[in-house]
Amino acid sequence: MNAAWLPLMTLATSLFAAVAIFSLPEEARRVRTSINLLAAVSKIVLVTLMVGRVSEGYEDTFSFQIVGGVDFVLRADALGVMFAGLSSLLWLCTTIYAIGYLEGAANRKRFFGFFSLCVTSTLGIALSGNLFTFLIFYEMLTLSTYPLVVHSGTAKALAAGRVYLRYTLTAGVVLLLGVVLLYSLTNDHSFASEQGLSPYLDDHRGLLTLIFALLVGGLAVKAAMVPLHGWLPRAMVAPAPVSALLHAVAVVKAGAFGILRVIYDLYGIELSVELGVTTVLAIAASITIIYGSLRAIAQEELKPRLAFSTISQVSYVVLGVSLFGPFGTIGALAHLLHQGLMKVTLFFCAGNYAEELGIHRIDEMDGAGKRMPLTSFAFTVGALGMIGLPPIAGFITKWYLGIGAIQAEMYWVVAVLVASSTLNAIYFLPILHRLWFREGPAHGKGQWPKEQRLGRLETHGWLLWPAVFTAVISIGAGLLAGLPFSPLDWATRVAVGEYLP
Amino acid sequence: MISSINTMESGLAVCLLVIAIACLFDRHLLRACWLLILFALLMSVAWWYLNAPWLALVEVVLGGVLTGGSFLYALRNLPSQRSPIVRYDHTQVGWSHRITRVLLTVAWSLMLGVAIQFLLPDMALSLTEHPLILAAVVIVSVGMGAFALHRHLLRRLMAFNVLGSGVFLMLAGMADTRPSSQALISVGLVIAWLGSLLGVLLIRRLVEQEGSVALDGEQSSTRLPS
Amino acid sequence: MMWRFGLYDPSFDPLWMTHWALAGALLLPIMAGLLGAIFRPSRALPVVLACMPILVAGVLMVIDYQQAGLLRWQWVIGDIEFTLRFSGLSALMLLITQWTAAAVAMYTPGYLRLTYPDLNNRWIWPLMGLLVSALSLIWLAADLLTLYAALEIMGLAAVGMLLLSGKPAALKAGMRYLLLALVGSLAFLLGIALLLSQWGSLNLAVLVELVEQEPITWVAAALMGAGLALKAALFPLHGWLTPVHENAWTPVSALHAALVIKASLYILILLWSILLPETLLAPRLIAWLGMLAIVWGGLVAWRADSLKTLIASSTVGQLGYLMVAFPLLLGPGIAPLPLALAWDGFWLHLMGHALAKAAMFMAAGNLIIATGESSLNALAGTSRRLPLSLLIFGIASVTLMGLPPSAGFTAKWLLLQSMVLTQQWVAVAALMAGTLLTAAYVFRVFRYSFDETAPRHDYQPLAPGMDLIALCLAVAALALGLLAHLPLALLHGGGA
């Protein structure tokens, strides 16, 4: 039995929300909020249904023909549902957060409209059943995030938007070329097909490598791999919920997820190893990890530090993929989820500090733990998770990645992991020290840059609870990793499907 | 071969050619306009001679009366103060412009000649036997040259009309005056008339609004030093 | 190739109802236009009512075509033969023409009321009607005489419409266009004369059988090509286009950019595929010019200061995409698969561009009316005050950029695939560069509009429905991308 409506409806909820929001007037705040929340919740329900269907062994597929030989396919498979689950969960959190964050600000209709479109694109990327569909949503994501990046309309934001477009559109063109070449070689190639591209290996080895380079090159821009990362720190001028979404889920993860798809579902891991591209990818990822961490240490403001941390952390996913072996895969997939949760927490917290206390620089954070204990707790959880401390989710990924590296006999990767963790500690621990152990304005020393009392609690409730929620989930994902339907369990399921067909 | 050339046709061809050239290079516009009408009437004689009486009628009506009438209307009914300016073409054309246009025209005529000489071995009406067609080729070249050379819009429009007539004659020369080519020529005449009418109306509006009768920035030279 | 244009014998005669539908599609626009001149509608509703029967006639014809296959009409009047045929391609182009023109017609009353209420603006209606009739005739014509007449009527009607705004700049631009179009038509006529003298027939289906590759054919093809390229504003001959579009009324520019120049292009590809099948040089030349057009149009649009200049220059670049496809359609030794891909991509791009460009002109017209200025600087702050017009502009530009999911993307995909299969890497590079250039100039507009620091103007409110009509066109261009197989099935229908 094929429930074709399920992936379609999942996609359509946020598309409808976007259309509805665009057709409402700017002042209809309550209706807009209800639509946003309703769509987000119903999306989670639908994704939960899909998770159930996939665990029962169904792969619901919706497809129709666009032109001869090219189909539009949405398919709910294990890997896609995993990413869809992450997106829909974080969408709900970010929507709640954004409603609080933008209270009273201008252009909210535009913001939430494009926000919903952005989530539609992300969901589309997750559920794409072939490369053509993936490309459609990948480019839609570029277009729908641009208005969010330039939302504030300042000269700096507009310049950042220009840089963002320059990188992503060029990447899109490169990706398009790769996809066209691939289609010309093999016709329509579903992600679900079993044999990968190995039949073409003998005759078209060079061409396959070229296509791989084009595809991964195009995707690596969004995954912000060095040296294609330039847009990400600049895009930090966007409002906090946008940064959270860009960095934790939508854009960078879309790139990483695309690389996953290309290696696992398009080329097949054996073929990729055979072509020798995984080693190159592993080296590129390692360079990115180390470079991102080093640059993060040099940043004096909070959001750019988090941005460089993202550059570094997303490449863990790519690194895990390029290790041949189930443990590397499990590590990569689990990290896709874990990093999303932890990073979104960190960005929520950074936004809270900025909104409530006007803190943008790290040296202004002294003693903020006393003033905003819950936010600081969430921040601490996220930061420790990034470093990889048990029992937070980040530990599990690093553990699995390490095992994967040893199994693949790539011992230098272990060194990279250790070095990266050390660097993470170097740039996160001082912040935690400032938060909890330095004396600051909360102890009567000095003043906050710009304090506002936004709510009865330490800050506005709409801002606080999403951060706490994602922090708790991050701990939960680590503590309860052994339970069924935990991120680790699901990642294992995908990896097993990949290696034991 | 010479004997086969009909005197009547040769005379007609020479007349057409002379009048076309006179019309194209007369700076007195009203006179040029009457010459154009005369040219159209001679064209209709040519059509009659080429066994196309209906086409001759169409030419009289469309080419002579309507197109010529449009030009006369434009010249007669111009806003009174400016009418002397427009009835005589004072536009100065620079030497470089003149030389390039003449060279272009020569090149175009050479191409046309080569095409006709070598590519069209079997024209319906042979060039050597029908001076009318030969005249048509010359008229096309000269018309093209005048169209490229002149700046005054009315004169360009007249050059287009002469050029068009040349093309119609060439068409008849190539494809004979069978029904379908007569139909084509009639359509062409209608289009030429409508185009001229539109152009004339346009020029009147341009003169009213801008006092200019040329497209590029030479308005100053179109005014009389008064 | 010829069956694609429907130049073969039909299996059924048209039904009696189809005759009426044909008469309706060809004559009703003129009649509606005359009614418009008499009554001067100031609201959209009477225009909608007048468009209805025309659209119904078009749909009826398409339905008949789907049932009976190719339709053909032939009349002989005094030894002169007139032939019309209704193929899948004609059906598609007729539908696009009628619906786009209907949208433009509905947009017009509001536009005129807001901008030129006092001028004697009634002439736009008969000219528009004449234009639509002539366009419909062009898509249907199957002999050179009809084609020539329809082309010239269309050209004159277009010049007339472009002049309506009456500004001196418009008059000068219109005059230049008129002179060029007239000379172009003479070149076209001379080409026809050559064909007629050599092969003795004006009927396209007969010519297909007779034409051989010899110098006279090439000369005829070159003459016709030059005349048509001039009218279609193909790259080196595009100089007249920008001033004309800049100064004309918005609905006129929309109609002109969407349909009129496409008609010349259609005739060009139709005649060349009859006269120059499997030639190397001429289509290759067009393709090289097309690459230059993509780059040149993009650069000019990128540097443009006014919104309408930007859109007009973008037309030059977008035509370049179509020119680049010429060697795929006409070149020698193109395998059936890339040929079919390029064919689909060509027409899909043409349709997508028609819809999107009309929408874009309307959106830009709305922005210009509302802000009262046509420069890009005046757009500052419009994203807050005129979000809908800007959104329409955005949706239309997605098609122009060729980003998914839009007709432009699907068409580009088809063209790219065809180019990859035939290994035309330079063309691939040109298409890619075109995408980036288009994005560069489109997002320049948005960069101005997102600027929040600009002072506030008072905006003139728009007439109801003006944005809505443009939105419909833009969304149609977008939807055509994902639903591309519907029009393409119609396009292929004639061959089945």
- Flag whether B touches A (3+ CB pairs, 8 A cutoff): no
Chain A residues within 8 A of C414 when measuring between CB atoms: 67
Whether pLDDT at A1 is above 70: no
Chain C residues within 8 A of B180 when measuring between CB atoms: 79-81, 145, 196, 202
Please say whether the beta carbons of C274 and C216 come within 8 A. no
Distance from CA of A70 to the nearest CA of C (A): 10
- The owner of tokens 């695309």 is A258
Residue C372 Ramachandran class (φ > 0 left, ψ -120 to 50 alpha, else beta): left
Contact assignment for C216 to B174 by CB distance below 8 Å: no
- Determine contact: B208 vs chain C, CB below 8 A: no
4-33 in chain B: CB under 8 A from chain C: none
| Cα gap B63→B192, rounded to integer Å | 8
Distance from CA of C69 to the nearest CA of A (A): 21
| Region C170-194 average pLDDT | 88
Provide the CA B1 distance to its chain's centre, in angstroms. Answer: 30
Q: Please tell me which residue of chain C has the smallest CA distance to B124.
A: C197
pLDDT of residue B75: 78
- Determine contact: C479 vs chain A, CB below 8 A: no
Q: Give the amino acid at C194.
A: L
Q: Please tell me which residue of chain C has the smallest CA distance to A175.
A: C432
| Region A273-296 average pLDDT | 90
Mean pLDDT, rounded, of chain C: 88
Residue B61 CB-half CA count within 13 A: 8
| ipTM for the predicted complex | 0.90
Q: Please tell me which residue of chain C has the smallest CA distance to A144.
A: C394
Choose, out of A23, A184, A211, the residue to mutate when testing the contact with C (most C CBs < 10 Å). A184
Please say whether the beta carbons of C30 and C134 come within 8 A. no
Q: Retrieve residue A308's tokens.
A: 């460089």
Q: Which of C417, C451, C453 sits opposite A184 (nearest CB)?
A: C417
Neighbours of chain C (3+ CB pairs under 8 A): A, B
Scored b (16 or more CB within 10 A) or e, A481-495 reads beeeebbbebbbbbb
Contact assignment for C215 to B194 by CB distance below 8 Å: no
Give the containing element (helix H, strand E) for C81: strand C80-86
Contact assignment for B175 to C196 by CB distance below 8 Å: yes
3-class secondary structure, A448: coil
- Determine contact: B169 vs chain C, CB below 8 A: no
Chain C residues within 8 A of A106 when measuring between CB atoms: 384, 452
| Cα gap B17→B142, rounded to integer Å | 9
407-436 in chain C: CB under 8 A from chain A: 409-410, 413-414, 416-417, 420-421, 428, 432, 435-436
Whether pLDDT at A199 is above 80: no
Tell me the pLDDT tens digit for each residue of A114-170. Answer: 999 999 999 999 999 889 999 999 999 999 999 888 888 888 888 999 999 999 999
pLDDT of residue A369: 85
| Region A350-374 average pLDDT | 87
Contact assignment for C403 to A66 by CB distance below 8 Å: no
Q: Which of B115, B164, B215 sits opposite C219 (nearest CB)?
A: B115
196-235 in chain C: CB under 8 A from chain B: 196-197, 202, 215-216, 219
| Region C331-356 average pLDDT | 90
Q: Please tell me which residue of chain C has the smallest CA distance to A135.
A: C404
> When comparing pLDDT for C379 and A317, which is higher?
A317
**Selection from A438-442, A482-486, C327-331, C489-493 with the highest mean pLDDT:** C327-331
- Determine contact: B104 vs chain C, CB below 8 A: no
pLDDT of residue B218: 42
Give the containing element (helix H, strand E) for C441: helix C425-449
- Determine contact: C454 vs chain A, CB below 8 A: no
Give just the sign of the alpha carbon dihedral B153, B159, B164, B165.
positive
3-class secondary structure, A66: strand
Q: Which of A132, A158, A184 sits opposite C447 (nearest CB)?
A: A158
Whether pLDDT at C188 is above 80: yes
Tell me the pLDDT tens digit for each residue of A234-259. Answer: 888 888 888 888 777 778 889 999 99
Contact assignment for A110 to C432 by CB distance below 8 Å: no
Q: Which residues pair with B28 in a beta bridge?
A: B88
Tell me the pLDDT tens digit for each residue of C106-132. Answer: 999 888 888 877 666 788 899 999 999
Q: Please tell me which residue of chain A has the smallest CA distance to C444.
A: A162
Q: Residue B51, Cβ neighbours under 10 Å: how many? A: 11
| Cα gap A430→A297, rounded to integer Å | 10
Residue C390 CB burial class (10 angstroms; 0-12, 13-18, ≥19):
buried
CA distances from C140 to A105, A398, C7, C150, C263 (A): 56, 69, 11, 10, 11
| Cα gap A415→A428, rounded to integer Å | 20
Distance from CA of C448 to the nearest CA of A (A): 9
- Determine contact: B153 vs chain C, CB below 8 A: yes
pLDDT of residue C130: 94
Record the pTM.
0.91
Contact assignment for C439 to A165 by CB distance below 8 Å: yes
Domain map (residue ranges) of chain C: 1-277, 278-496
Neighbours of chain A (3+ CB pairs under 8 A): C
For residue A277, the 8-state DSSP code is H
pLDDT per residue rounded down to tens, chain B (226 residues): 444 567 888 888 888 888 888 888 888 888 888 888 898 998 888 888 888 888 888 888 888 888 888 888 877 765 545 554 556 766 677 778 788 888 888 887 788 777 776 666 566 566 667 778 888 888 888 888 888 888 888 888 889 999 999 888 888 887 777 888 888 899 999 999 999 988 888 888 887 777 766 766 444 333 333 3
pLDDT of residue B222: 39
Backbone angles phi, psi at B152, to 5 degrees: -65, 125
Q: Retrieve residue C45's tokens.
A: 């509703």
